[in-house]
Amino acid sequence: MNCHILIAIWSTRLFFVSLNNIKICNAMKSRKITTFSIFLFALLLMDGTGCRKELTITVPAPVVENPLELTVSNNFDWKTTRDITLEVTGITVPVSIRNTLWVKSTDEEKVYLKNPLFMDQNYTLKFTIPAYETEVMITYGSIWKIVDATPEVIHFNYLSQ
């Protein structure tokens, strides 16, 4: 049986039983009817939202028995990573300074390159990043820069931007 019908039958029966069993004056009956009307309205309002079945739609997955049957566009790139070349330009310093150069994601959760370097030498380093990364953070001691990671070659120097 539908839950709307059950609630309507139950509330109607409750209403008539309460009015027939209790002998009260007309003013009290009027107040009980108003109170009951509000109660019935609240029940019907809850019933309208509470007894609905969830509708689930299942879409069958296409069946591919042979992977060679899969087709993709000719310009689809299967690669999920990109190779980047980092060119570091050294600067002349009065003393030899050696520190670790880090290339990280901008949120600093992923490290793509970690390499100890001397500040007065030039370097060419290669590393791989996920294809979705558009910027990386490069740090060397207290020096840090956020650089564009979309070109294949990134340039870094120890001077301010």
Domain span at residue 42? 1-69
- The per-residue pLDDT for range 66-81, each reduced to its tens digit, is 878 777 788 887 889 9
Residue 53 shares a structural domain with residue 85: no
**Domain harbouring 148, CATH code:** 2.60.40
Looking at residues 47-74, what average pLDDT do you find? 74
Name the burial class of residue 154, with classes exposed (0-12), middle (13-18) and buried (19+) by CB atoms within 10 angstroms of its CB: buried
Residue 13: closest CA among 35, 53, 31, 40: 40
Same structural domain for residues 104 and 148?
yes
**Looking at the DSSP assignment, which residues form a beta bridge with residue 153?**
85
**How far apart are the C-alpha atoms of 128 and 2, rounded to whole Å?**
61
pTM: 0.54
Do both 150 and 105 map to the same domain?
yes
